[in-house]
């Protein structure tokens, strides 16, 4: 494809310099782990909400959502709607509960309920899932940027990684939040640029595009039949989305850490709600972009070149051939910002997990200054390793990525189930939790290896029978059921822990405030 024009390059350079300057502006304030990991719990709710939006809208969203809408319909949007449902059901309880139950790491809660092994496992599962995602984001960003500009893929990965690692290491969580705010607005501008161009330049007018898309059922959210083997079923995608976002809200450090940076419980709830309310319209607009790009090529009768052979390649091709100079650079900056906001957030969260869940256990008598140094070191190491993973994926092909995803999905499954077991069942104990985790790992391994057309293992009628996205749903339920039944077998040696459950929290909320 075409190389970027000088005006587009200037926009990208200005964006990168701005990110470095924001990181440097917060460097001197990172004098404690409290400041570095949770920004001294002083972030306003609106900034927290924009940060959540910026973190959840990744570079994968920029490419995959328009590609999915171009190739099919809007069924991939259904899981995103569940973020609102999960927030309504759990947000007003889980958020204030965690703010009072833990210090800096979400997985501290699992230790209070089930002992340190449960904390170590949950922190490891989180790290595995997010580390694999970081490598994938670096890789997909580089592939997309390279196809649009002709730049060397390794140069893009290393350059993006270097800037992101630098401002995250020196600026801590404050730099992550405020760069997220800037990046969030850049993403909005990127969306507006693309939609504006499509609305103005659509052959036959925008009305013709909507009419054609509606006639071809491009706005459909999928089949309404209750068929768990069909990934395009609204029921399947809703179940998948519900448990995916339940795990996000209840057992994912990237969101849990946002709960802790707000000034008050009310601010935390408002910030999380704002983040969800920003994400859903953004996902809808990315789907709309994909549908309108499809309509544009249908109505213009332009023939796509042979190298644009996959849906994910169409939107980058459209950007480089249709969007004017400067505006294309703005969208490229939005693409970089989508990747970098997620990467910086994950790096800081992995640092929290490394220090709070592991290092303090190994060396409990270290000073806060020493732990701050270790936290910064972990950010740097994890960032370099994520870039290295992306380089290996690009070098050795996506088969490496497929193997890593299989492994991380097996290890990272069931965290929402572990939270439900801990939060809803006072009789659940550490023995039951270990049994539930083991059952979940066994089920997830067998299901992952026996699903799909290219299954690794064929067990005949014992193969996982439903759509692959249902593996995570069932895994959570397996952990809850086996964890609770296992707990009942060890009740004689365990004391119910009502105070660390939903029921204990509700008891606490019903108590009258102390007399002044």
pLDDT at 319: 85
Residues 80, 45 share a domain: yes
Report yes or no on 129 lying in a domain: yes
Whether pLDDT at 401 is above 60: no
Concatenating the DSSP letter of every residue in 111-140 gives HHHH-HHHHHHHHHHHHHHHHHHHHHHHHH
Q: What is the mean pLDDT of residues 225-244?
A: 90
Report yes or no on 1 lying in a domain: no
How many domains are contained in the chain?
2
Residues 292, 206 share a domain: yes
Report yes or no on 76 lying in a domain: yes
Distance, CA of 516 to CA of 513 (rounded, Å): 9
**pLDDT (tens digit per residue) in 274-329:** 998 999 999 999 999 999 999 999 999 999 988 888 888 888 889 888 888 777 78
Residues 159, 58 share a domain: yes
Cα–Cα nearest to 487, from 429, 417, 424? 429
* Long-range pairs of 392-395 with CB within 8 A, sequence gap ≥ 24: 393/135, 393/136, 393/139, 394/139, 394/142, 394/143, 394/153, 394/154, 394/157
Let me know: does 354 contact 375? Beta carbons within 8 Å. yes
Report yes or no on 428 lying in a domain: yes
Q: Which residue, 368, 397, 426, sits at the end of a domain?
A: 397
Concatenating the DSSP letter of every residue in 338-398 gives HHHHHHHHHHHHHHHIIIIIIIHHH-TT--HHHHHHHHHHHHHHHHHHHHHHHHHHHHH-T
Q: Which residue has the tokens 């009305």?
A: 207
Element (H, E) at 35: helix 33-38
**pLDDT (tens digit per residue) in 323-368:** 887 777 888 888 899 889 989 999 999 999 999 999 999 999 999 9
Tell me, what CATH number does 258's domain have? 1.20.1730.10
Residues 426, 393 share a domain: no
Mean pLDDT (the chain) is: 89
Whether pLDDT at 1 is above 50: no
Residues 358, 465 share a domain: no
Report yes or no on 514 lying in a domain: no
In this structure, how many other beta carbons lie within 10 angstroms of the beta carbon of residue 352?
28
If phi over 0 gives left and psi between -120 and 50 gives alpha, with beta otherwise, what is residue 308? beta
Cα dihedral sign, 112-118-120-123: negative
Name the H helices within 39-152.
45-56, 59-71, 78-86, 92-101, 108-114, 116-149
Axis crossing angle, helix 327-352 with helix 253-261, rounded to the nearest 10: 90
Residues 422, 392 share a domain: no
Cα–Cα nearest to 54, from 353, 387, 345, 349? 345
Q: Which residue, 369, 397, 425, sits at the end of a domain?
A: 397
Burial class of residue 468 in the structure, from the number of CB atoms within 10 Å of its CB (0-12 exposed, 13-18 middle, 19+ buried): middle
Distance, CA of 207 to CA of 272 (rounded, Å): 36
56 against 48, higher pLDDT: 48
Q: pTM (2 decimals)?
A: 0.91
Cα dihedral sign, 480-481-482-488: positive
Report yes or no on 208 lying in a domain: yes
Residues 433, 383 share a domain: no
Residue 42 structure tokens? 């002083």
Residues 432, 369 share a domain: no
Q: What is the mean pLDDT of residues 126-137?
A: 84
Report yes or no on 513 lying in a domain: no
Let me know: does 166 contact 418? Beta carbons within 8 Å. no
Residues 384, 431 share a domain: no
Cα dihedral sign, 439-444-449-452: positive
Residues 155, 34 share a domain: yes
List the domain range (segments joined by +) for residue 109.
6-397
Q: Which residue, 373, 397, 421, sits at the end of a domain?
A: 397
pLDDT at 453: 77
Collapsing DSSP states into helix, strand and coil, what is residue 481? helix
Residue 332 structure tokens? 């490229």
Q: Which residues pair with 43 in a beta bridge?
A: 262
Residues 497, 451 share a domain: yes
Confidence category of residue 411, pLDDT binned at 50, 70, 90: low
Report yes or no on 466 lying in a domain: yes
**CA 423 to chain centroid:** 23
CA distances from 223 to 158, 236, 396, 466 (A): 42, 10, 38, 15
329 against 419, higher pLDDT: 419
86 Cβ contact partners less than 8 Å away, ≥ 6 residues apart: 242, 245, 246, 248, 249
Residues 447, 341 share a domain: no
Confidence category of residue 495, pLDDT binned at 50, 70, 90: low
């Amino acid at each position: 494809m075409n190389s970027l024009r000088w005006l587009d390059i200037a926009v990208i350079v200005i964006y990168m310099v701005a990110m470095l300057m924001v990181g440097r502006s917060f460097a001197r304030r990172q004098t404690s782990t409290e400041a570095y990991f949770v920004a001294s719990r002083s972030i306003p709710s609106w900034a927290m909400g924009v940060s959540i939006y910026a973190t959840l809208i990744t570079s994968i969203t920029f490419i995959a959502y328009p590609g999915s809408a171009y190739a099919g319909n809007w069924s991939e949007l259904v899981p995103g709607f569940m973020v609102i449902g999960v927030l309504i059901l759990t947000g007003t309880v889980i958020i204030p509960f965690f703010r009072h139950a833990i210090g800096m790491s979400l997985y501290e809660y699992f230790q209070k309920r089930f002992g340190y092994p449960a904390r170590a496992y949950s922190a490891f599962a989180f790290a595995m899932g997010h580390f694999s995602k970081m490598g994938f984001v670096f890789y997909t960003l580089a592939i997309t940027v390279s196809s649009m500009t002709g730049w060397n893929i390794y140069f893009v990965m290393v350059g993006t990684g270097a800037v992101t690692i630098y401002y995250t290491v020196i600026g801590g969580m404050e730099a992550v939040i405020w760069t997220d705010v800037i990046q969030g607005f850049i993403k909005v501008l990127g969306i507006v640029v693309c939609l504006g161009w499509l609305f103005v330049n659509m052959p036959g007018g925008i009305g013709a595009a909507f009419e054609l898309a509606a006639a071809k059922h491009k706005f459909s959210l999928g089949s309404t039949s209750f068929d768990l083997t069909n990934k395009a079923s609204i029921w399947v995608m809703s179940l998948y989305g519900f448990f995916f976002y339940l795990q996000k809200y209840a057992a994912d450090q990237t969101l849990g850490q946002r709960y802790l940076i707000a000034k008050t419980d009310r601010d935390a709830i408002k910030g999380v709600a704002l983040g969800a309310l920003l994400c859903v319209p953004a996902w809808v607009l990315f789907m709309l972009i994909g549908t309108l790009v499809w309509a544009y090529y249908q109505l213009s009768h332009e023939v796509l070149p042979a190298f644009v052979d996959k849906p994910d390649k169409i939107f980058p091709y459209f950007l480089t051939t249709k969007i004017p100079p400067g505006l294309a650079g703005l969208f490229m900056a939005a693409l970089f910002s989508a990747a970098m906001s997620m990467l910086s957030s994950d790096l800081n969260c992995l640092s929290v997990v490394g220090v709070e869940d592991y290092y303090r256990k190994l060396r409990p008598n270290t000073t806060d200054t020493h732990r701050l140094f270790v936290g910064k070191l972990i950010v740097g190491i994890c960032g370099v390793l994520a870039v290295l993973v992306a380089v290996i994926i690009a070098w050795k092909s996506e088969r490496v990525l497929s193997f890593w995803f299989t492994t991380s999905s097996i290890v990272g499954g069931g965290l929402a189930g572990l939270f439900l077991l801990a939060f809803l069942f006072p009789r659940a104990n550490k023995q039951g939790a270990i049994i539930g985790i083991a059952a979940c790992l066994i089920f997830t391994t067998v299901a992952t290896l026996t699903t799909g057309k290219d299954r690794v293992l064929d067990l005949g009628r014992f193969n996982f029978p439903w759509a692959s996205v249902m593996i995570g749903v069932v895994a959570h339920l397996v952990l809850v059921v086996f964890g609770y039944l296992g707990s009942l077998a060890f009740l004689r040696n365990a004391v119910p822990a009502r105070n660390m459950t939903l029921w204990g929290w509700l008891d606490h909320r019903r108590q009258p405030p102390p007399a002044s």
